Amino acid sequence: MHLITFIEIVAILVGAFSGFIEARRKRMDVVGVFTVAFIAAFGGGTLRDILLDRRPLFWVTHQEYAILIFVLALVASPLIRTLRHRVSERMIVIADAVGLGLFSVAGVSSALEAHMPLFIASMMGVITGIFGGVLRDIVCNEVPMVFRDGKPYAICAFIGNWIFLLMGLYGVEHDFALWSSALFISGLRLICWKFDMTLGR
Amino acid sequence: MHLITFIEIVAILVGAFSGFIEARRKRMDVVGVFTVAFIAAFGGGTLRDILLDRRPLFWVTHQEYAILIFVLALVASPLIRTLRHRVSERMIVIADAVGLGLFSVAGVSSALEAHMPLFIASMMGVITGIFGGVLRDIVCNEVPMVFRDGKPYAICAFIGNWIFLLMGLYGVEHDFALWSSALFISGLRLICWKFDMTLGR
Amino acid sequence: MHLITFIEIVAILVGAFSGFIEARRKRMDVVGVFTVAFIAAFGGGTLRDILLDRRPLFWVTHQEYAILIFVLALVASPLIRTLRHRVSERMIVIADAVGLGLFSVAGVSSALEAHMPLFIASMMGVITGIFGGVLRDIVCNEVPMVFRDGKPYAICAFIGNWIFLLMGLYGVEHDFALWSSALFISGLRLICWKFDMTLGR
């Protein structure tokens, strides 16, 4: 399996899970649960592809991922109630950090393939990393969490994306650059969370 | 007139009407009334076409429909006040059910023309059927009704879309499959509404 | 520098400023401030380009404008606090009126280049002029101001766009038509604001 593909699958499952939780919190029905999970999982990558005019979309060529979320949504409602007590906040934050790293770097990589200039590529990475959550929060009628909690999240992705871009410029091997940047983003995010860092306002 | 075209016109008028009502309820001005009606009417089909990368958009090639909604918005404000007392909730639900059936099946049909895989085509049909209302509710700063009321709505569209797809696979004549699936969706929706069915959460 | 380009730069800066203010009012952090400013500045033009299927997007070919907003967002947070006391509401309304005129006419011009029919072109101009603010308000979880305050805003753009289109039909020189229509829109908007006109509801 191609590396980027594997990266996106893991990130999608993590995204969908955040959608399940948020939709349940808003007391949505099964249609809402599926749609919000779908948007949380594919929203960032879809927005990136629309902005870059890349078609077919990731979830169109891989309908198996859409079906997977569909099946998960059907079984999620009872499951989530059980899981919520078992899944600690800590596990969610970790999974989410992993998703952020993977999604962001995959986004930069796609933007470079589409010959975007460097700054735009770094932004496309951040969009891929955070806009699933942003669109999820907009549909759930919330001010997006990532814009208001003052915790370094998008910024971790932004820094990591530049590390990836710089490694590319200096000729570092592509797969190594990809994995190490994703790891850097996830790690930085977790450190910021662990020590409860906040950005100045 | 081509069948699909006629289907979309009826569905657009029904969608615009739901936008007029929602925008008036939010005390919007004439610009808001037009925009929300436009989004409710064309939002689902436009999102589908952006996802499928189909251009020109339906309302671009048929500017007469955009003009029609424009004129309706200008005369709607005083009209809606009168109509609201005359138009019972029942009539709105019926018109909306007809719109859901027509939009959804037209959406599946478009997705098949664009060579989408079956599950994605069924989803594109649901998106075409419900996202006018979803985008309308987002602009009106509400959690989309279709995600939270627990009434079978998107699900009726989803089931009907699969009936349409299966009829296609078994070689049923296209126009017959189109009309009967649309009718099935509208009928199922009305039955669910009549007997006040709800989905389990 | 090409005329249209200059028009868009000024309009972008004005849009970004409205985003800074709105994001600060919602107590967003620096990521929110940048994103909302970016959406307010580029949202209208981006939506227009997605609807018209024009790529690359304006801010992709001109990454310097994205970088400019990025730098402004970094220095904006402390600046805004100071500026808010110095910048009167009057200055904001004037800058915004200038932006509305410039954006709208640039939008019509783009739509004509893409061979849109006249009514659609006039709408694309309005979308370019107002959807930065609409998307900004949606992300900030507000009913868009332009749809509810009953003040002529989108309508000024709509009328000015038709003046531009009619001047085109009657063979008026393009640059003159562009500037005079933009000026007309800004002036009409300011007159409506000055005399506190409202639309009937």
Per-residue pLDDT of A155-189, as tens digits, reads 999 999 999 999 999 999 998 999 999 999 999 99
Give me the phi and psi of A128, to 5 degrees please. -60, -35
- pLDDT of res. C108: 96
Which pairs with CB-CB distance under 8 Å and at least 24 residues apart come from A27-30? A27/B148, A27/B201, A28/B143, A28/B147, A28/B148, A29/B147, A29/B148, A29/B149, A29/B150, A29/B199, A29/B201, A30/A73, A30/A74, A30/A77, A30/B155, A30/B199, A30/B200, A30/B201
- pLDDT tens string A1-17: 676 677 667 778 888 98
CB atoms within 10 A of CB A97: 22
| Greatest C-alpha distance within chain C | 50
CA dihedral A134, A135, A140, A143 (to 10 degrees): 40
- CA-wise closest residue to A105 among A38, A154, A177, A155: A177
CB atoms within 10 A of CB C86: 7
CB contact under 8 A, B143 and A59: no
Rounded alpha-carbon distances, angstroms, from residue A197 to A26, A130, A150, A154, A191: 28, 19, 9, 14, 9
- pLDDT of res. C91: 74
- pLDDT of res. B126: 95
Nearest to A32 among B141, B142, B147 (CB): B147
- CA-wise closest residue to B48 among B99, B98, B122, B100: B122
Which of the residues in chain B have pLDDT under 50? none
b/e per residue C29-65 (b: at least 16 CB within 10 A)? bbbbbbbbbbbbbbbbbbbbbbbbebebbbbbebbeb
CA dihedral B62, C182, B40, A54 (to 10 degrees): 80
pLDDT at A145 over 80: yes
CB contact under 8 A, A35 and B150: no
Q: How far apart are CA C198 and CA B190, in angstroms?
A: 41
- pLDDT of res. C37: 94
Residue linked to tokens 């985003």: C19
Chain A contact set for B149 (CB, 8 A): 29
Q: Which residues contact B131 (CB under 8 A, 6 or more apart)?
A: B43, B44, B47, B48
Rounded alpha-carbon distances, angstroms, from residue B47 to A124, B34, B39, B40: 21, 18, 10, 11
- pLDDT tens string A114-139: 999 999 999 999 999 999 999 999 99
Task: Write out the two tokens for B121.
Answer: 């085509």
Does the structure's ipTM exceed the value 0.85? Answer: yes
Q: What would the DSSP string read from start to end of A36-98?
A: HHHHHHHHHHHHHHHHHT--S-HHHHTHHHHHHHHHHHHHHHHHHHHHHHHS-HHHHHHHHHH
| Inter-residue contact B185 to B98 (CB < 8 Å) | no
Nearest to C30 among A50, A123, A199 (CB): A199
Task: Write out the two tokens for C141.
Answer: 């979880």
- Find which of A31, A38, A81, A138 to mutate to test the B interface (most B CBs within 10 Å of its CB): A31
Q: At what angle do helices C174-194 and C154-169 cross, to 10 degrees?
A: 150
- Say if A149 is an interface residue toward chain C (CB within 8 Å): yes
Q: How far apart are CA A7 and CA A179, in angstroms?
A: 9
Q: Which of residues A89 and A51 earns the better pLDDT score?
A: A51
Task: Write out the two tokens for C123.
Answer: 């709408």
**Which of 45-84 (A) contact B at CB < 8 A?**
46, 50, 53, 55, 57, 59-60, 63, 66-67, 70, 77
- pLDDT tens string A77-112: 677 667 666 666 777 788 788 889 988 998 999 999
| Inter-residue contact A44 to A107 (CB < 8 Å) | yes
- pLDDT of res. C86: 67
First to last CA, chain A: 43
Q: How far apart are CA A96 and CA A17, in angstroms?
A: 9
Which of the residues in chain C have pLDDT under 50? none
Domain ranges within chain C, ordered by starting residue: 3-194
Chains with 3 or more CB pairs under 8 A to chain B: A, C
Q: How far apart are CA A143 and CA C26, in angstroms?
A: 9
- CA-wise closest residue to A59 among C18, C168, B123: B123
Chain C contact set for A115 (CB, 8 A): none
pLDDT at A201 over 60: no
B27 to chain C: nearest residue by CA? C148
Q: Which residues contact C141 (CB under 8 A, 6 or more apart)?
A: A138, A141, A142, A143, B141, C26
Task: Write out the two tokens for B104.
Answer: 């959804």
Nearest to A66 among B120, B199, B201 (CB): B120
First to last CA, chain B: 43
Give the gap in angstroms from C-alpha B198 to the nearest C-alpha of chain C: 29
- pLDDT of res. A7: 66
Q: How far apart are CA A180 and CA A189, in angstroms?
A: 14
CB atoms within 10 A of CB A65: 19
Chain C contact set for A122 (CB, 8 A): none
A119 to chain C: nearest residue by CA? C63
| Greatest C-alpha distance within chain B | 50
- pLDDT of res. A192: 93
